[in-house]
Amino acid sequence: METINIILEGLPTLLKGMGVTIEVTVISLILAMFIGLVLGIFSITKSKILRTISIVFVDIIRGTPLLVQILFIYFGLPSVIDISLTAFAAGVIAITVNAAAYLVEIFRAGINSIDKGQMEAGRTIGFSYSQTMRLIILPQAVRRMIPAFVNQFIVSIKDTSLLSAIGLAELTLSGQSIYAANFHAFEILFAVGVLYFVIIYSLSLFSRWLERRLDVA
């Protein structure tokens, strides 16, 4: 009974931190989808310059730890550039950039999975490259990429726990602040784990429902 009371006392703070976690993840993924789409298209174009830009971005971001990227954006950049970033803004930027590097590969693979004849057919009926991509290729590719999108969403939610390093009061740091005050680490961290599980499991169920709804091959 005491354990339940301890968790209930800390629940409002944990739920507030959970809200920050979800907010950062949603904003970051929306921005990352745009960057990932643009660089994903760059990666399959005939332009060597655009392909190089995409490759360099992906290699640098995927080749360095996310925690280093978070610290670099929050502490490193302001030390050489006259900018001031809040922990929330730095967190969104870091998660966005990191997720975008993985979404580039998801978009590239998804677009390449569509038969090349689809592009040729679009160009034959008079569509430009961009029209064919927007009206024919991407709608089909996105359906196939849904499981990968949801998986990246889940990964990014977990990644937000690293933002506690810069003092952002997301779910993990909220839990730390509670057990630092009441010394009940087991109960609070158990509650933190349950809340993460609820978010991630709900996303997994939604993904399965969406795949069946759209009949994803």
- pLDDT 10s digits, 1-53: 677 888 888 899 999 999 999 999 999 999 999 999 999 999 988 889 999 99
CA distance 32 to 146: 15
Alpha carbons within 13 angstroms on the beta-carbon side of residue 108 total 18
What pLDDT, in 10s, does the model give residues 167-214?
998 999 999 999 888 888 899 999 999 999 999 999 888 888 877 776
Tokens coding 2: 């005491």
Residues of the chain with pLDDT > 70, as a percent, come to: 98
Examine the pLDDT at 126 and tell me if it is beyond 90.
no
pTM: 0.89
Is domain 2-214 in CATH 1.10.3720.10, yes or no? yes
H-helix or E-strand containing 14? Answer: helix 2-42
